[in-house]
Structure formats: structure tokens, C-alpha cells
Amino acid sequence: MMLASLQGHEPVVSYLLTRKANLNAKDVTGMTALMAASKKGHLSLVRVLVEGAPT
């Protein structure tokens, strides 16, 4: 999820969300996939991550 978010691979992130990937997982620096996508400016991916987050 993290690598796909950093690289802006929206289809991969969407697939991982359907497989119930952990959106709260952090890398060694404490960054989440949402933070990574935001930092890299992948705004449509940020939207996918926010909408895919469980309520």
C-alpha cells in the first residue's frame, strides 16, 4: 500500500482496499499511505484512500 501510494498507482491501491489492506500501517518514519499520497501530491489517490477508509 505504501509503495503504491508513493508512486501514485491508484488501481493498485483500489485493489488493496478491496482486499482490506491496513490503511493505518506505518513505515519506519511513521508515515501512512494517506500521508505518502498527500506528500507526493496524488490528490485523486488521497480521495480514494479517504473514501476507502472504514467508518
Q: pLDDT of 1-55, one tens digit each? A: 999 999 999 999 999 999 999 999 999 999 999 999 999 999 999 999 999 876 5
**Residue 44, pLDDT score:** 96
Please name the residues in contact with 14: beta carbons below 8 A apart, sequence gap of 6 or more: 48, 52
Helix (H) or strand (E) holding 12: helix 10-18
Look at residue 53 in the predicted model and tell me its pLDDT.
Answer: 74
Instruction: Please report the pLDDT score of residue 38 as a whole number.
Output: 97
pLDDT at position 45 = 96
Number of alpha helices (DSSP H) and beta strands (DSSP E) in the chain: 4, 0
Give the pLDDT score at 48: 94
